[in-house]
Amino acid sequence: MLRKLSIDEIQSVDAAHRQLITTYVGTNINLPEIEADFVILNVYLMSSHLEWYPFFGAVAVRGEHIVYCGPYSRSADELNPAVPFEFFFQNEVEEAAVCQKPPYVTLVAPIWLDGGGQILMPGLVNGHCHGDMGLLRGRGDGMTLAEQNEAFASHNWFQDFMSDEDRLLARRLTYVEALLSGTTFICENMYWSLGERAVEVMVETGIQGALVEDLRPDFRISDVYHSATWLNQFRELCHNHGLVAVAGCAAEEDFSPSIVQAEHELAAQAGLWETRHFSETTWRLSIVADHYGMTPTHFLSKYGVLHHRLIASHGVHLTTEDIQLLAEREVKVVNTPLCEMKIQDGAAPIVEMLAAGISVGLGTDGACWNNSNDIFREMKGVSLLNALRLGPAALTPEQVLDMATSMGAAVFGEEKSRGTLAPGMRADFILIDMNQPHFSPLITSGTEQNVASHLVYCATGQDVRDVFIGGKQIVEDRKVLTTDLSKLLNQVDAAANKITSLSSSSSAK
Ligand SMILES: [Zn+2]
């Protein structure tokens, strides 16, 4: 839990810090000052730009951005001269270079928070989700994707039983669950447009993300598209709220040369990223093989729509040639490992894609296909699934953490502003309390440190205590500050009861 320091404590921290530096350097240097809105000290910093080594120190935030991430010590015990300081000052604080060796600065801020020795790491990226399906948790159990499509989509189940209000409520539930488990950026894949209301729940809950507007107003009619005017408006709507605007394109069952080219043209004209469910199941693969005699990757390549602004969701069934093509065209991939296992999609060649240089992020998919929205579980899932394929050394914890943070941000072209704790990045970060039995023993220094391992193999979203997005605290000591949780859960119960009674009276007919 974060504890606010008193003015006396702030002054004594500052005095101790200055004294320590003077003692350590042996001369009275002129310390550069960094002004911030608040500082969190007494934390272990974990980030890909620090190579996932736990550095003890502080983070300072000004406005929406991190302005300092590095060592900050109140006592000689906390100052570790062995820390490779060059990690910390690659982007900012050039003056530090003139101070010789360690990056000696002082932080000036009105608010100082004691992190109590917790882990502070970048917020997680959920690159593939369907929040609209949040009220259907548990309804897809025991079915493959094809069987679910037959049970639900083919019979208008979603349209008949779920209103727009239900969908917005489902999203609220999903995003609150995501926030409480450390996700700060989520990609919402809509099936049906919500018009200008599409941004509503992300804005209200405070989560950031990407919004996918399917190019087809009715996704069952594959060649009727939204107007260019609306797609431009949609892009502006997203950008006005700091969200990434994405066009939803057809999956394999609707592939034709004219359709994939028309989609690409529309999306490119409106300046939208593109995404599609891609090479997810053998069932979908065989559709393209039967009609066109090639893999989905080769099909998209042949018709000129395999490119660096395409986010390929799932990417389970890929040949070596497919992976090479995806890498050459800089296509991004989001895999949802627990979903792929639960509905028997298969095990994606994650290790091979990473080796080829493809940016691969993690997602959860929707509640019909996974049942939870916890990226920590996906991290463990992707690690174990690839251990089963290729042995226990297939993926390192550090690679998996990259997928959930910096590489996940890169999937959406956001790697320069999100996904690490480096100065200049958005202040999207989470705190994890490791003072618990399932993280014990905890080793935070030396070559045998186990913090990255614990984050991948031992943590779940329930261990996240605080969440900051753009410098604003959204979760405080496991309470979401933007949402009345008990009201939300009551609304969810009422809506789920309505859906259940509509569904059961319909099936009784
Ligand atoms: Zn999906």
Distance 347 CA to ligand 1 centre (A): 16
Band of residue 32 on the pLDDT scale cut at 50, 70, 90:
confident
Distance 311 CA to ligand 1 centre (A): 12
Distance 129 CA to ligand 1 centre (A): 6
Structure tokens at 110: 């009105």
Distance 449 CA to ligand 1 centre (A): 37
Distance 509 CA to ligand 1 centre (A): 31
Distance 40 CA to ligand 1 centre (A): 37
- Spell out where 109-243 has E strands: 111-122, 124-129, 183-189, 208-214
Give the other-Cβ count within 10 Å of 415's Cβ. Answer: 17
Distance 81 CA to ligand 1 centre (A): 48
Q: Pick 147 or 399 by higher pLDDT.
A: 399
Q: What predicted TM-score, i.e. pTM, was given to this entire model?
A: 0.94
The mean of the pLDDT values for the chain is 91
Structure tokens at 267: 């999306």
Report pLDDT for 76.
Answer: 61
Report pLDDT for 151.
Answer: 85
Mean pLDDT for the stretch of residues 310-338:
98
- Spell out where 300-374 has E strands: 310-314, 332-335, 360-362
User: What angle, rounded to 10 degrees, do the helices at 397-404 and 375-390 form?
Assistant: 140
Distance 365 CA to ligand 1 centre (A): 5
Mean pLDDT for the stretch of residues 231-235:
98
Distance 278 CA to ligand 1 centre (A): 9
> Is residue 86 predicted with pLDDT exceeding 60?
no
Distance 152 CA to ligand 1 centre (A): 14
Report pLDDT for 95.
Answer: 39
Report pLDDT for 23.
Answer: 72
Distance 275 CA to ligand 1 centre (A): 10
Report pLDDT for 98.
Answer: 37
One-letter amino acid at 420 equals T
Unique residue bearing structure tokens 């690839």: 386
Distance 332 CA to ligand 1 centre (A): 15
Report pLDDT for 377.
Answer: 98
CA 386 to centroid of chain Cα atoms: 20
Report pLDDT for 93.
Answer: 39
Distance 321 CA to ligand 1 centre (A): 24
Distance 470 CA to ligand 1 centre (A): 27
Band of residue 509 on the pLDDT scale cut at 50, 70, 90:
low
Distance 501 CA to ligand 1 centre (A): 26
Distance 128 CA to ligand 1 centre (A): 6
Distance 116 CA to ligand 1 centre (A): 39
Distance 118 CA to ligand 1 centre (A): 34
Report pLDDT for 79.
Answer: 56
Domain 124-411 CATH (choose: 2.60.40.420, 3.20.20.140, 3.30.230.10, 3.40.50.720): 3.20.20.140
Dihedral in degrees, nearest 10, Cα atoms 467, 70, 53, 94: 120
Could you tell me if 399 and 351 are in contact, meaning their C-beta atoms sit under 8 angstroms apart? no
Band of residue 94 on the pLDDT scale cut at 50, 70, 90:
very low
For residues 63 and 274, what is the distance between their CA atoms, to the nearest angstrom? 31
Report pLDDT for 90.
Answer: 43
What 3-state class would DSSP assign to 19?
Answer: helix
Report pLDDT for 75.
Answer: 67
Nearest to 4 by CA among 137, 78, 109, 104: 109
Distance 481 CA to ligand 1 centre (A): 29
Mean pLDDT for the stretch of residues 147-154:
84
Distance 277 CA to ligand 1 centre (A): 6
Mean pLDDT for the stretch of residues 153-167:
86
Could you tell me if 323 and 353 are in contact, meaning their C-beta atoms sit under 8 angstroms apart? yes
Report pLDDT for 236.
Answer: 98
Unique residue bearing structure tokens 């949802």: 336
Largest CA distance in the chain: 86
Boundaries of CATH 2.30.40.10 in the chain? 3-122+426-480
Distance 171 CA to ligand 1 centre (A): 14
Name the helix (H) or strand (E) containing 464. strand 464-469
Distance 68 CA to ligand 1 centre (A): 37
Distance 363 CA to ligand 1 centre (A): 9
Query: DSSP per residue over 400-413, as a string?
Result: HHHHHTHHHHHHTT
Distance 380 CA to ligand 1 centre (A): 20
Distance 189 CA to ligand 1 centre (A): 7
Distance 55 CA to ligand 1 centre (A): 37
Mean pLDDT for the stretch of residues 116-144:
95
Q: Pick 35 or 506 by higher pLDDT.
A: 35
Band of residue 31 on the pLDDT scale cut at 50, 70, 90:
confident
Boundaries of CATH 3.20.20.140 in the chain? 124-411
Q: pLDDT tens digits, residue range 172-228?
A: 999 999 999 999 999 999 888 999 999 999 999 999 999 999 999 887 888 899 999
Distance 39 CA to ligand 1 centre (A): 39
Band of residue 168 on the pLDDT scale cut at 50, 70, 90:
very high
Band of residue 102 on the pLDDT scale cut at 50, 70, 90:
low
Distance 192 CA to ligand 1 centre (A): 13
Distance 210 CA to ligand 1 centre (A): 14
Q: For the chain, how many residues are written?
A: 509
Report pLDDT for 156.
Answer: 80
For residues 183 and 123, what is the distance between their CA atoms, to the nearest angstrom? 6
Distance 302 CA to ligand 1 centre (A): 24
Unique residue bearing structure tokens 């489902």: 170
pLDDT above 90 as % of the chain: 78
Band of residue 322 on the pLDDT scale cut at 50, 70, 90:
very high
> Is residue 353 predicted with pLDDT exceeding 70?
yes
Distance 505 CA to ligand 1 centre (A): 28
Fold for domain 3-122+426-480?
Urease, subunit C; domain 1 (2.30.40)
> Is residue 253 predicted with pLDDT exceeding 50?
yes
